[in-house]
Amino acid sequence: MALRILIVEDHPLMQKGMEMTLKAESDMEVAGMASTGEEALEVAEKVRPDLAVVDISLPGMNGLELIKLLRATFDDLRILVVSRHEEELFAERAVRAGAQGYIMKIDAGDQVVDAVRKIASGGVYLSEKISSKLLLNLAWGGEQKEKSPYEVLSDRELTVFRMIGQGRHTREIAERMHISTKTVDTYKARIREKLDITDGAQLLRQAVQWFREKEK
């Protein structure tokens, strides 16, 4: 029986490319596709996939939140994250959310089939660097002395922080995340407190600097 796969990706070309790559394998079937987290939950309920390929950056609900909901709703579902975001920060968050694998979009063409097969068979697909980091965190109880200050942010706070770094204003962030501007301001206040940032100008500078370093 072919492996039933759900693709969650909001970029049409990437979605189509992923579909073609997976459908070319005789033991794989693309059972459904979705462009948002909300849509993904509805499609998953209908098609009951064995495995989901999920992007992190989605309109509205982000991929990390979606992974948590999918894992809570479908006990046996395996999840592979395919993202353009820096794995050093986001892969660990994805695993904590419930994913079994993480690959960069730039490597997806070469790795996605192998990653899907390994995860579907009960394995984990992560780079050696990330695997070592996760093991080290486990050994230290998650309290490494050199832990990045940005790792203290929640998934939603990190999403807001990244959008600030992209130069997006409060209203645009609110629209993209489907939340109120007041909620965005609350997230900004929490970010400033956690990162010991004194004002909005400093928050903008640090967010822009982080975005340039992590997203290039």
Q: Residue 48 region, left (φ>0) first, then alpha (ψ -120 to 50), else beta? A: left
- pLDDT at position 144, please? 47
What pLDDT digit, counting tens, does each position of 107-143 carry?
Answer: 777 789 999 999 999 999 987 666 666 665 555 555 5
Binning pLDDT at 50, 70 and 90, where does residue 11 land? very high
pLDDT exceeds 60 at position 147 = no
Domain boundaries, the chain: 3-139, 149-215
Beta pairing class for 78-83 and 3-8 = unpaired
**Of 47, 43, 69, 50, which is closest to residue 3 (Cα–Cα)?**
50
Cα separation, 130 vs 215, in Å, equals 17
Dump pLDDT digits (tens) for 60-109: 888 998 999 999 899 899 999 998 876 666 788 888 889 999 998 877 77
pLDDT in tens, 164-214: 988 999 999 998 888 899 999 999 999 998 888 888 888 998 888 877 776
pLDDT of residue 146: 45
Q: Which CATH architecture has domain 149-215?
A: Orthogonal Bundle (1.10)
What is the reported pLDDT for 145? 45
pLDDT number for residue 92: 80
Count of beta carbons in the 10 Å neighbourhood of residue 105: 17
CB 117 within 8 A of CB 78: no
Pairing type for strands 51-54 and 28-34 reads: unpaired
CATH number of 3-139: 3.40.50.2300
State residue 132's pLDDT score: 64
The one-letter code for the residue type at 23 is K
What pLDDT, on the 0 to 100 scale, is given for residue 138?
53
Distance CA 150, CA 87 (A): 14
193 three-class SS: helix
For residue 54, which of 117, 13, 98, 24 has the smallest C-alpha distance? 98
Integer Rg of the chain from CA: 18
